[in-house]
A and B are shown apart, each in its own frame.
Chain A
Amino acid sequence: MGVTNRLQPMRSEQRWTQAELAQRVGVSRQTINSIETGRFEPSLGLALKLARLLDVPVETIFALDH
């Protein structure tokens, strides 16, 4: 069972580039890219940082794939 995410559209709503979002949460641009393309599932800590930054519950960004 994988994890899907809505990080890319939510980032776009803020008009942030991947690099800008990466800098705000303290990871590399490559990490953000890998998350958005579904290749990399972030740790709980990083997922919560993203949720806090975007001011939404973490389940709004990440969900289990049915």
Chain B
Amino acid sequence: MVEITHGGTWFKWSSLDRRDKWLAGLSIAASLPSGIVAGIMLGGALHRTGQLLGGNGFEEPADTVQRMVDSAAYRSAALVALALAIVSALAWWRFSLRQDELFNRIQNYSMGRAGGWSMAIATGWWFLQLAGLAGAFPLGAFLLAMMLLLLGFWFHGVRRWA
């Protein structure tokens, strides 16, 4: 059974049995390509933000990162990353089923709260967009916010129960 350590940032590998180690390791390894793909997108978004803050406005699509994102290779990599993200999610689901109620209570709490707040943000944005007060929905920023909410509620759950 997994034991959560370091304030919720890691877990005690020695507490896992062989099957748990395999599932957790597979999930983490399969999620890395998705992180790389997402990191490139995030890098591009932050690059543009920096340009905007610098007062130079956005460069044309000739921008290095934008060219990379528009390339066929990047799009293929994104599809591969999607497939691996699904493998990662399935492995983590199987791993979670094998853990005890403390781990699952913390995980369910973090996912439930993050999901609820994310729905509220998306719904609020939608109504603002309908009212003409907001532009196109920023999917990348939304996913980043959802991830931060998930982490925030995870650490809160660990501090509360573990």
Contacts and interface: CB of A to CB of B under 8 A. Distances in A.
Pair from one complex: yes
A15 interface: no
A61 B5 CA distance: 27
B162 interface: yes
A28 B3 contact: yes
B160 A43 contact: no
Given A27-B100, A40-B102, A43-B101, A34 B161 contact: yes
B103 interface: yes
B4 interface: yes
Interface string B74-113: 0000000000000000000000000111110100000000
A26 B100 CA distance: 8
A28 B161 contact: no
A46 B101 contact: yes
Contacts, number: 39
A26, A31, A42: which has the most chain B beta carbons within 10 Å? A31
A30 interface: yes
How many chain B residues sit at the interface, stated as a range, is 10 to 19
A28 B160 contact: no
Given A27-B1, A29-B3, A39 B162 contact: yes
Contacts of A51: none
How many chain A residues sit at the interface, stated as a range, is 10 to 19
Interface in A18-41: 22, 26-31, 34, 39-40
B151 to A, nearest CB: 20
Contacts of A27: 1, 100-102
Contacts of B101: 27, 31, 42-43, 46
Pairs of residues from A and B, 5 with the lowest C-beta to C-beta distance, nearest first: A28-B1, A27-B100, A31-B102, A30-B3, A40-B161
Interface of B: 1-4, 15, 99-103, 105, 160-162
9 contacts: A26-B1, A26-B100, A27-B1, A27-B100, A27-B102, A31-B100, A31-B102, A39-B160, A39-B162
